[in-house]
Amino acid sequence: MPDMSSSAALAMTHLVPLAEVDENKVTPGVLGFIVFAVMALAVWGLMKSMSKQMNKVDFKEAPDPTTTAESEAAVVDSQAKQG
């Protein structure tokens, strides 16, 4: 059975050029990740709060008392004309 440590060392040798860092390249780094994570948590919290508030809202509209009185009068008038 071949020695795995030599093949692992050879693989690492081929990956070293990929790991070189260009000093002129700007990356977000850890601070960028932390800011992104905090913003994601804030959006999640706001969405959860909005969902809770929307569940409290009653979308059924109460009937307007003046409209119901007028409609009842119209029904009585139409029945009187037919009768």
Q: For 2-46, what is each residue's pLDDT tens digit?
A: 555 666 666 666 655 656 667 788 788 899 999 999 999 999 999
DSSP-based helix, strand, coil % in the chain, nearest 5: 75, 0, 25
Model pTM score: 0.44
Higher pLDDT, 80 or 51: 51
Mean pLDDT of the region 53-77: 76
- The pLDDT assigned to 62 comes to 76
- The pLDDT assigned to 1 comes to 47
| 20: phi then psi, degrees, rounded to nearest 5 | -65, 140
- The pLDDT assigned to 14 comes to 62
CA–CA separation, 18 vs 77, rounded Å? Answer: 89
